[in-house]
Amino acid sequence: MKKLFLLVALACIAALPSEAKNPKQPKVNNIIYMIGDGMGLTHVSMLELENKYAPTSFDRADNIALTRTYSANNRVTDSAASGTALATGYKTNNGWLGMTPDGTAVESIIAKAEKQNFATGLVATYAIQHATPAAFYAHVKSRGDYANITKQFMESNIDLALGGGYKHFDDVFKAQGKNYVEELTNKGYKVCKTWDEISKQTSGQVFGLLHGDNMPAVEKRQPGFLADATAKALEILTNNVKSEKRKGFVLMVEGSQIDGRSHSKDVSGILAEMRDFDKAIKVAMDYADNHPGTLVVVVADHETGGLSIPSNKTDFTLPESGIGYNFGTGSHTAALIPVYLYGTGAEQVNGIMENTDLSWKLQQLLGVGEK
């Protein structure tokens, strides 16, 4: 009798529609990929502590996972190798961009999305030729090869770039006896040299690099640039999707200078950059609230500084012992990195995973790639 019951149960399961056996994954049309360069869990803890536990954008996450960050040739990654992993789904050697260790060029989620009729964009507070943003379009064996990285940007079809790095375009085209503004204009970009010019753009291809190389630190750059640039990028990409009948968009936003301030062990600087990044995350999450089908992914390429937050005293019977911010190194670490997910599909990313697996999962959710 028991065997008969099991057979009947199995037959009933087999008769279920495939959708019932394999629930359909939510449709993700837009991904906002937010990368805090050098941002570990303790950096987020610092933000929480210094905000006196008032809610931050990180608290809004629908789901949290963890990633391993080692590169193909080192247990401690650099931004080029980890950026490549997050962008393409492949591990590579430290210092390499968009290539596997055997020299094979691999496409990023942005490159694949472009080919499949998605709008794409990059926002950073460093030069867009810097390791993390460059991982989304370049294929070089040296992250310092800014000339070839710049040329490869010109070969891409990225809709929008906001940040720093125009000097490298100027250098490349001057060497050819050409003007970089004319070349970009011929490629279809509206070239903006001030924030006022950027703010007037509502659609189309927009090139808004406001500094020759990296932008200044948050205390010296235009107030609120990262949040404002994120909002402007979302406006432009949304309008491009509507007017050009695109499937959706992929936007990469980098809080670039958390890393540099961590290398310098600059506590107040780290906090200022974290607060700036937090504001940009809020813009992205607010957008997801009003645009179903949008997934916000907040992650780091690696942790920088070996930051810890110890008590100032060992007597825990005191009502307040005080805290300090200590650094174990002026370099990167091999620590696991948290992933904060918000919006459509957030529940699909779980557990401890390779940083490459995070990339493949996002490509799968967007429908542009399978591992």
pLDDT tens digits for range 136-181: 999 999 999 999 999 999 999 999 999 999 999 999 999 999 999 9
* Residues 6+ positions from 248 with CB-CB distance below 8 Å: 28, 29, 30, 118, 119, 241, 293, 366
CB-CB contact of 70 with 77 (8 Å): yes
**pLDDT(297) > 60:** yes
Inform me whether the pLDDT recorded for 20 exceeds 50: no
Is the model more confident about 116 or about 23? 116
pLDDT at 16 over 80: no
Separation between Cα atoms, residue 102 and residue 45, nearest integer Å: 39
Q: How far apart are the first and last CA of the chain?
A: 44
Residue 302, pLDDT above cutoff 80: yes
Residue-wise pLDDT tens digits, 97-130? 999 999 999 999 999 999 999 999 999 999 999 9
Give the per-residue pLDDT at 19. Answer: 42
Per-residue pLDDT, 24: 67
Q: What is the pLDDT of residue 168?
A: 98
For 49-87, write each residue's pLDDT tens digit. Answer: 999 999 999 999 999 999 999 999 999 999 999 999 999
Question: What is the structure's pLDDT at 204?
Answer: 97
The single-letter DSSP state of residue 99 is B
The percent of residues in the chain predicted with pLDDT above 70, rounded, is 93
pLDDT tens digits for range 187-236: 999 999 999 999 999 999 999 999 999 999 999 998 999 999 999 999 99
pLDDT score at 5: 42
Query: Concatenated DSSP letters for 180-209?
Result: HHHHHHHTTEEE--SHHHHHT--SSEEEEE
CA distance 123 to 231: 10
- Average pLDDT (282-286) is 98
Where helices occur in the chain by DSSP H, the ranges are: 2-15, 18-21, 41-50, 79-88, 109-115, 131-134, 146-155, 166-174, 180-186, 195-199, 225-243, 258-263, 267-290, 355-366
| Per-residue confidence (pLDDT) for residue 313, from 0 to 100 | 87
Of the residues 79, 156, 203, 256, only one is catalytic, namely 79
Query: Alpha-carbon distance 156 to 169, whole Å?
Result: 14
Structural domains of the chain ordered from first start: 32-254+267-309+324-366 (3.40.720.10)
79 noted as active-site residue: yes
d(CA 65, CA 353): 8
> Hunting for tokens 């909002």 — which residue is that?
231
